[in-house]
Amino acid sequence: MGHTRVLGGPLAALAGATFLSLINYAALIPVLPMWAAERGADAFAAGTITSGMMAATVAAQFLMPWLMRFAPLRSLLIAGTLLLGAPTPLYLVSDGFTWLMVITLVRGLGFGLVVVTGGVLAADLAPEGRLSSAVALYGFATASPTVVGLAGGVWASEHFGFGAVFWTATATSLSACAIALLIPGALHGRFTLPSLRSLRAVSVPIVLLVLTGSAFGAVTTFLPLSGPDPVAAALALLLASLALVLGRVAVGPFADRIGSGRIQYGAALSVAAGLGLIGGALDGGLPQLLIGSVLLGAGFGACQNDTFVATVDRMSDRGTGTASTLWNIGYDGGLGLGAFVLGAAIGALGTQQAILALAAVIGGAAAIAWLAASLRRAVPDRGQRTPRDQRTQGGDARRR
């Protein structure tokens, strides 16, 4: 199966539309807390902006099973793009924190529609036997906006003002609608309520996704406010974003060969190590900050790809809509949880100690999960199918 089939046609259109749409999201993640802080918000209030965005996103994702019954995926993707992009300039209307949160919640609903429908389309458009590679291409489209957005948003707000960032983010997001028209319009997502057994099968990937997402959400929200000068913070976010893209893309073909669910443990440990280095570098030490950012981004990117494919494979009997919805709830819930928890912990522990404590929690959880998986592989149940067998049969069932 050639790479051209993975890269071409509707999947390429999905990647293009997703990239342009999510520039809006990525640019504003670090910029909105800066916007709020300039208007007198404290660390906890600044953290609630990201948390509010993710809470609205998760709320939209809980609606997806109902929405997918009545609307095709392409229509949902375009609707989400409009909700995400169109309200962005309205931040300029008022300095009030309540107004800021209202606009953020509307955008969060749109973001939820975009990421769930995109995940379902990526899985359904994947050629047979190339799920990880197709997801890696889609992952590139979802992760690469952070390269432009995270560092670019901070830099542009310092040099051109917040208004320029808001209007540019709107233009790129809305331009995605035209490209989305190239995606087949008749595809619908399928969602069935997951059983307890299927939820247990994906519990480790989802937990690791939530934990690594919390680390990335915490850093992107608070690093520009935590001590490094704007240039150092922008450079760290740029390196984290580049590493995230490379980490997510690189594991796709590799996971196609070795099977999903095997990379996630080392990826989570990389996130913990990176977070620890970042926490230790807040007092100074630019090289340590940059190395930590690379480890954080690469680990989170690899964890994203591996946990998504593992979730799709292990819930193949429930439909790609079910898997994408559940995975995206974990992803966005983790991003919001990290910003909220770290914002609360900073008041009690200080920024550095709060970051180091989060690193310890993630590292410990990853080590325990890896040890438990190693023990299960060493002592398989008699007559039980191996994880690889389950993935193979599940993948065949998904494509029938």
- Is pLDDT of 87 > 90? yes
Longest dimension (CA), the chain: 65
Residue 349: both structure tokens together: 């522990």
Residues 6+ apart with CB under 8 A from 367: 265, 269
What value does the mean pLDDT take over residues 350-371?
89
Is 249 within 8 Å of 136 (Cβ atoms)? yes
Is 270 within 8 Å of 298 (Cβ atoms)? yes
Residue type, 275: L
CA 160-163-166 angle, to 5 degrees, is 110
Residues 6+ apart with CB under 8 A from 220: 29, 30, 50, 150, 237, 240
Is 106 within 8 Å of 88 (Cβ atoms)? no
Higher pLDDT, 135 or 7: 135
What value does the mean pLDDT take over residues 88-103?
88
At residue 4, the pLDDT reads 43
Predicted TM-score (pTM) of the model is 0.70
Count CA within 13 A, CB hemisphere, residue 283: 5
Write down the H helix ranges in the chain: 3-7, 9-38, 43-70, 73-85, 97-125, 131-159, 162-180, 196-201, 203-222, 230-258, 264-280, 286-314, 320-349, 351-378, 387-399
* pLDDT tens-place string over residues 11-57: 889 999 999 999 998 888 888 888 887 777 666 777 678 778 888 98
Higher pLDDT, 335 or 295: 295
Rounded CA-CA distance 245/250 in Å is 8
- C-beta neighbour count of 250 within 10 angstroms: 16
Rounded CA-CA distance 26/28 in Å is 6
Q: Return the sign of the alpha-carbon dihedral for residues 356, 360, 363, 365.
A: negative
At residue 395, the pLDDT reads 42
At residue 332, the pLDDT reads 77
Rounded CA-CA distance 140/18 in Å is 10
pLDDT grade, residue 3 (50/70/90)?
Answer: very low
* pLDDT tens-place string over residues 273-321: 999 999 888 877 788 999 999 999 999 999 988 898 888 888 766 667 7
Residue corresponding to tokens 């690193």: 359
Rounded CA-CA distance 361/364 in Å is 5
Residue 243: both structure tokens together: 């590493």
Residues 6+ apart with CB under 8 A from 382: none
Residues 6+ apart with CB under 8 A from 172: 20, 21, 23, 24, 85
Residue corresponding to tokens 């995940």: 119
- String of b and e for 11-27 (b: at least 16 CB within 10 Å)? bbbbbbbbbbbbbbbbb
Q: Return the sign of the alpha-carbon dihedral for residues 276, 338, 346, 243.
A: positive
Higher pLDDT, 214 or 195: 214
Q: Of 71-75, 151-155, 228-232, 356-360, give the lowest mean pLDDT range.
A: 228-232
At residue 9, the pLDDT reads 80
* pLDDT tens-place string over residues 378-393: 765 544 444 444 444 4
- C-beta neighbour count of 283 within 10 angstroms: 9
Residue 162: both structure tokens together: 């917040």
Closest CA to 251 of 305, 288, 202: 305
Residue corresponding to tokens 């406010």: 225
Report the C-alpha dihedral over residues 49, 54, 57, 61, rounded to 10 degrees. Answer: -160
